[in-house]
Each structure stands twice: as structure tokens, then as C-alpha cells.
Amino acid sequence: MERCVGPVDLGSDALTQARLEQLWMKDRERLLSCARRHLALRDFYADRDAGLTGKAVRK
């Protein structure tokens, strides 16, 4: 599985409000993308394990 991209680097220079908002949105996109991938992987293994043990697969 591809590693999640880390948080946005804010650098050491002063940021304008607009630039800060752009970076914040990029950071949130990265976080949500990572969370969705990991939740999908968790659900895959839960479904697989339930199927292997004969339990109903939840949807």
C-alpha cells in the first residue's frame, strides 16, 4: 500500500491568509485521502476474515 503523504510544510516565512487557507485545504485533502484508504483496507480485511470464519459480511 502506498504511504500516506505527510502534513503540508508551512516553511519558515510569514504566510498570507490566502496562502495559509490554500495550505490548510491541501493538508485536509491529504488527511482525508489517507483516512479513506486505511478505512477501506480495514474493511477489506474485516470482510475477508468474516467470510473465512463463516460469519455474515456486514455492508
SS (H, E, C) 25-37: HHHHHHHHHHHHH
Structural domain count, the chain:
1
> Looking at the domain assignment, is residue 5 inside a domain?
no
> Looking at the domain assignment, is residue 36 inside a domain?
yes
pLDDT (tens digit, 9 = 90+) per residue, 1-58?
678 888 899 999 999 999 999 999 999 999 999 998 898 888 899 889 888 888 766 5
> Looking at the domain assignment, is residue 53 inside a domain?
yes
Phi, psi for 11 (deg, rounded to 5): 70, -170
> Looking at the domain assignment, is residue 2 inside a domain?
no
CA distance 6 to 13: 20
Give the pLDDT of residue 13.
95
* Encoded amino acid at 53, one letter: T
> Looking at the domain assignment, is residue 41 inside a domain?
yes
> Looking at the domain assignment, is residue 38 inside a domain?
yes
> Looking at the domain assignment, is residue 11 inside a domain?
no
Q: What is the radius of gyration, based on Cα positions, of the chain?
A: 18
pTM over 0.85: no
> Looking at the domain assignment, is residue 50 inside a domain?
yes
Structural domain range at position 29: 16-59
Give the pLDDT of residue 54.
84
Residue 1 DSSP one-character state? -
Residue located via cell numbers 480495514: 42
Give the pLDDT of residue 30.
93
Give the pLDDT of residue 58.
59
